[in-house]
Amino acid sequence: MVQIDDEIIAIHRFVAEIYAKKFPELDSLVPNALDYVRVVKAIGNEMDMTVVDLSKLLPSAAIIGISVTGSGTSGKQLSAEDLKTCMDACDELLSLDKDKSMILGFVESRMSYLAPNVSQLVGTRIAAQLIGLAGGVANLSRIPSCNLQVLGQQKKVLSGFSSAAALKHTGIIFYADVIQNVPPYLRMKACRALAGKIALMARVDSQPHQSDREGKVGAQFRDELIAKMEKWQEPQKAKTKKALPIPDEKPRRKRGGKRYRKMKERLQMTDVRREINRQSFATADEEYGDNAMGITAGRLGQEGSGNLRIVRKEQKQMAKKLKAASFASASKAPMSGLASSLAFTPVQGIELMNPEAAKARVKAANDKYFAANSGFVSIVKKP
């Protein structure tokens, strides 16, 4: 059947080359070979497209395009010899198509023996067409699934209409009953899945010694594919609202907050206690006394540590408060450079005195006997 298709293509080109003298635009308006030769036989050598009835051959959209284009075409009528040659070629092409249909019918009747698994999967008619296009079961098994999906695709001319309804990437298997029984929005997805199954079944049928002549594997794959398509059509499960867990009755752990930070700073372990709790490594302890009972000062005050007292760690919160308080007191009570003091005496009571004058008197008394440059003074009188 592959040779028949090649002959049909060659005759179609021959007819289009001859009829281009009469209607050169017809080849682009009707790309299908069978439709083209039928339209050529219907038009013949007629120049007026309004008297030609094409309603039984083409859809109305294509007929309108042919009528409008044919009325303004630049072609001329064919000679009697060219017209006879063209019509004979058209009859030959239609005869080949009829023979091809007869062969397909015979192959379809023998599909249960030639390719039982593919026949069980897509039906005998689709299986016969696939085998006819591929040139045999062996050639069909070598075609990948992506090419099987578009095997037998026919190009259609939209004649200026929208391409939204045009089926892209669809071949013969798109018209199988398995695909047509699903909703339109799932057909392309189902077509890809079916193409993969056909590729597998063709490889099974191509084996010369395969024992499955009843098509059990193909029937099993068909049932699995139908079940999968039914699964696709099921509505999505609604999200269930889960109940909130029972809250724990335990008190919450307060790990932050201004008040809790203050409490932690107030009750935290001091550095002195921390040093008492630590023990030096590889140092012998005393054997007698309280230390023998394990009551020690730890690392506090030990030799080599250099620390008898631990400087209290600087507290940032307290430092900020003290700094703010010092600024506030400085702004409220400004001080000058003078200083005074009050002295309580048993005779005069309260006496206001200048500290600097008191220091000057003490210094003058000290300079008399205890000054560094006074030298040695003897209290013994010289004879």
The pLDDT tens digits for 229-252 are: 888 888 888 788 888 888 877 877
Burial (CB count within 10 angstroms: exposed 0-12, middle 13-18, buried 19+), residue 86:
buried
Alpha helices of 268-315 — where are they, by DSSP H? 271-277
Query: What number is the average pLDDT over the span 198-211?
Result: 81
Identify the pLDDT of residue 292.
Answer: 65
Domains contained in the chain, CATH given: 1-99 (1.10.287.4070), 115-159+168-233 (1.10.246.90)
Angstrom distance (rounded) from CA 120 to CA 112 = 8
pLDDT recorded at residue 196: 92
pLDDT exceeds 60 at position 9: yes
Question: For 258-282, what is each residue's pLDDT tens digit?
Answer: 888 888 888 888 888 888 888 777 7
Q: What is the pLDDT of residues 322-375, one digit of tens each?
A: 888 877 665 555 555 555 566 666 666 666 677 787 788 878 777 766 666 666
Query: What pLDDT sits at residue 129?
Result: 84
pLDDT at 345: 66
**CA–CA dist 362, 366 (Å, integer):** 6
Of residues 364 and 203, more confidently modeled: 203
- Over residues 195-206, mean pLDDT: 90
Residue 45 pLDDT exceeds 60: yes
Cβ–Cβ under 8 Å, residues 118 and 112: no
Q: Which residues have a Cβ under 8 Å from the Cβ of 145 and sit 6 or more positions away?
A: 192, 195, 196, 198, 199
Mean pLDDT throughout 294-302?
Answer: 73
Query: What does the pLDDT read at residue 365?
Result: 75
Where does the pLDDT of residue 382 fall: very low under 50, low under 70, confident under 90, or very high at 90 and above?
A: low
pLDDT of the residue at 193 = 92
Range scoring the smallest mean pLDDT among 67-71, 131-135, 187-191, 292-296? 292-296
> For residues 284 and 98, what is the distance between their CA atoms, to the nearest angstrom?
114
Is the predicted pLDDT of residue 308 greater than 60, yes or no?
A: no
Percent composition of the chain: helix, strand, coil (DSSP 3-state, to 5): 55, 5, 40
Predicted TM-score (pTM) of the model is: 0.45
Residue 76: how many CB atoms within 10 A of its CB? 10
74 CB-near residues (< 8 Å, 6+ apart): 24
Closest of 258, 259, 117, 314 to residue 198, by C-alpha: 117
C-beta of residue 65 within 8 angstroms of C-beta of residue 157:
yes
Residue 98's nearest CA partner among 16, 37, 30 is 37
**Residue 221 pLDDT more than 60?**
yes
- In terms of pLDDT, which residue wins out, 371 or 81? 81
Residue located via tokens 């010092």: 326
pLDDT value of residue 381: 64
Residue among 103, 106, 93, 104 nearest 129 (CA): 104
Q: What is the pLDDT of residues 91-142, one digit of tens each?
A: 888 888 888 888 877 777 777 778 888 888 888 888 888 888 888 888 988 9
Q: Where are the alpha helices (DSSP H) in the chain?
A: 2-19, 26-29, 33-43, 60-71, 80-109, 111-114, 116-122, 124-134, 137-141, 145-148, 177-180, 187-205, 216-233, 258-267, 271-277, 316-332, 355-369
Instruction: State yes or no: pLDDT of 156 exceeds 60.
Output: no
Structure confidence at residue 25 (pLDDT): 84
pLDDT band at 154 (very low <50, low <70, confident <90, very high): low
DSSP string, 133-165: HHTSHHHHHTS-HHHHTTTT------TT--STT
- Asked if 71 and 49 touch (Cβ cutoff 8 Å), the reply is yes
Segment (H or E) for 326: helix 316-332
Comparing C-alpha atoms, which of 82, 70, 84, 97 is closest to residue 17? 82
Q: Which of the two residues, 365 and 38, has the higher pLDDT score?
A: 38
The phi and psi torsions of 319 (rounded to 5 degrees) equal -65, -40
Identify which of 268, 254, 253, 196 has the alpha carbon closest to the alpha carbon of residue 225.
196
